[in-house]
Amino acid sequence: MVRFLVIRFSSMGDIILTTPVLRHLKNQVEGAEIHYLTKSAFVPLLAANPYIDRIHSFNGDWNTCLKDLRETGFDYVIDLHHNLRTARIKFKLKRMDFSVHKLNLKKWIYVNFKLNLLPEKHMVDRNLDTIRTFISERDSLGL
């Protein structure tokens, strides 16, 4: 069994854009067990997803959340949020992690200087790039 923790705290649309990652891991990694960490408000959005084995919710209590995650134990952390909160979790779990590239500097340059340096790559594809180590090919099933 290979246990993955996928992290995306919010928002609704961004969480939906992570679902192909779950499907690809479950279908292409033998024995994959997928756990998802999100804010409590978004648990219902993921509850019926057949590719998730367990949902962990974050309600603002770091100690309880980290204790639960440590007790569960993971082989890999897939960070699809990539911010200071997820950095803290990855640091505490001490597991190999893979993080999405958010391109914040390029976004800032675009907003402030109207110079578009952003790649023409959909967020779903950028999320899937995060797990390229684990998957051999991408399916064409969409979201």
Delimit the domains of the chain by residue range.
2-130
Helix, strand, or coil (residue 115): coil
Q: Mind listing the pLDDT tens digit for each residue in 50-92?
A: 999 999 999 989 999 999 999 999 999 999 999 999 999 999 9
Q: For the chain, what percentages of helix, strand and coil (3-state, to nearest 5) are there?
A: 45, 20, 40
Specify the pLDDT at position 13.
98
57 pairs with which residues across the strands? 38
Q: Mind listing the pLDDT tens digit for each residue in 5-44?
A: 999 999 999 999 999 999 999 999 999 999 999 999 999 9
Q: Are strands 54-58 and 32-39 parallel, antiparallel or unpaired?
A: parallel
Token pair for 142: 């969409």
Specify the pLDDT at position 16.
98
Specify the pLDDT at position 31.
98
Helix, strand, or coil (residue 125): helix
Percent of the chain past pLDDT 90, that is, above it, reads 98
| CATH of region 2-130, choose from 3.40.30.10, 3.40.50.300, 3.40.50.720, 3.40.50.2000 | 3.40.50.2000
Token pair for 20: 């192909």
Q: How far apart are CA 85 and CA 107, in angstroms?
A: 20
Q: How far apart are CA 116 and CA 112, in angstroms?
A: 10
Specify the pLDDT at position 48.
98
**Model confidence at 97, in pLDDT bands (50, 70, 90)?**
very high
**Model confidence at 126, in pLDDT bands (50, 70, 90)?**
very high
